[in-house]
Copies of this chain bind each other. A is one copy, B any other.
């Protein structure tokens, strides 16, 4: 033990986040993280069951600085600000952003943000079950859009081709102004669609008494 400070889960997660931000996702191996901490790779296993558990902690740590939206704002504005802030926070840590997008938000910060979302959706007028489902839909969309942003920006040029390929299809008129896959614009547009949809769903609940929203 040449490190002066003792090994803790938090300290390990911080070191892993540092390694990922500096050297990219593939560098976040148990061996490299241990090297960053100047400890034996196996020492990490005394604080985390396996690599997946360690990365979950790192993903949650990346959400630590997501601010909670102004409680005085309208429910839809609150959701928009929060989900956008999650995307921004993840993109500030490119090493772990892909993992944030692929794992359940069950860490301390993930649960905190989920509670804010649920409160906003309940305020919108959704019953509990639909609020939970709407939250999961928002999480799913945010996760995928985030994963696309990461892939398009750092790893995979093929995502950039998607807009071009589809704009060139028979059905698409020429001259369409394209938005890059994974861009902030594209993210905001899809988020608006979902919030539109939630608003419509909530309207059915509160506006029409005998509505049967489950019917197709």
- Taking Cβ atoms with an 8 Å cutoff, the residues of A that contact B are 56, 77, 80, 101-106, 111, 114-115, 118-119, 122, 127-137, 139-141, 143-145, 147-148, 151, 156, 158-159, 161-163, 165-167, 169-173, 175-179, 181, 186, 189-190, 192-201, 216
Contact = CB atoms under 8 A, between A and B. Distances in A.
Contacts of A176: 127-129, 131-132
Task: Count identical subunits in the complex.
Answer: 2
Contact of A137 (B122, B141, B165, B200): B141
A197 B193 contact: yes
20 contacts: A104-B156, A106-B161, A106-B165, A111-B169, A114-B169, A115-B171, A118-B166, A122-B172, A128-B176, A131-B172, A135-B166, A136-B179, A137-B141, A137-B193, A140-B148, A141-B190, A192-B201, A193-B194, A193-B198, A194-B194
B118 A178 contact: no
Given A133-B186, A172-B131, A179-B129, A102 B147 contact: yes
